[in-house]
Amino acid sequence: MNANGMFADVLHVGFTVTDIERSVDWYGRVLGLELIHRQHSDNAYIRALVGVSDAVLEVAQFALPGSPPRFSTHVLELIQYVEGQGEHAVGLGVNQAGAAHLGFVVADIHTKCSQLLAEGVDFVNLPVLVTEGANAGGYACYFRDPDGIVLELMQFAPQRAQRLGIALPPSS
């Protein structure tokens, strides 16, 4: 637990998707995340947990290769409501309340973006230089998964990356 006794760590992030098979393929093949576990959840516990009386879920859990989380087997959980699904929130803007995103640290954002573009990934923006704040001198970009969920790439400035032990590519 932390000093105020509230939280020990982040357990994982979860996103609801429309097609679990498409998302499992995309997060594994395109982003390179490691599929850790799949499960079918059709039980009273899960219905009580999510607050949907007829919920039946397909779940996929992913880890970052070579970087196990501290308190869980996974860092990302994808959920498809096979039964009890709600409406698909198409086009939820990054500026709308309730919008969320998941950010990934990368060593070479320009190379990673080129790889993602080759896979047909939909970018909100290509890498922009961060000019203010804690990440000044780094680069960041937003992109979307097949359901329109916003994801972020962050390449830290060389000084910050060095302090955090992240190897950056040589300057060109």
Residue partners of 73: CB distance under 8 A and separation at least 6? 36, 37, 61, 63
Residues 101-164: name the CATH superfamily.
2,3-Dihydroxybiphenyl 1,2-Dioxygenase, domain 1 (3.10.180.10)
pLDDT value, residue 172 = 47
d(Cα 129, Cα 109) in Å, to the nearest integer?
Answer: 11
Q: Which residues pair with 57 in a beta bridge?
A: 41, 81
Q: Would the pLDDT of 89 be above 70?
A: no
Higher-confidence position of 47 and 67: 47
Report percent pLDDT > 90 for the chain.
67
Identify the CATH assignment for 13-83 out of 3.40.50.300, 2.60.40.1250, 3.10.180.10, 3.40.50.720.
3.10.180.10
Question: Model-level pTM greater than 0.85?
Answer: yes
Q: Please name which of 166, 170, 171 lies closest in space to residue 155, comparing C-alpha atoms.
A: 166
On the question of pLDDT at 91 being above 80, the answer is no
Q: Which of 10-19, 98-107, 108-117 has the highest average model confidence (pLDDT)?
A: 108-117
- Confidence check: pLDDT of 97 > 50: yes
Which string of DSSP letters, residue by residue, matches 64-123?
A: BTTB--SSSS-SEEEEEEEES-----TT--TTSTT--EEEEE-S-HHHHHHHHHHTT-EE
Average pLDDT estimate for 15-43: 96
Domain ranges, ordered by start, for the chain: 13-83, 101-164
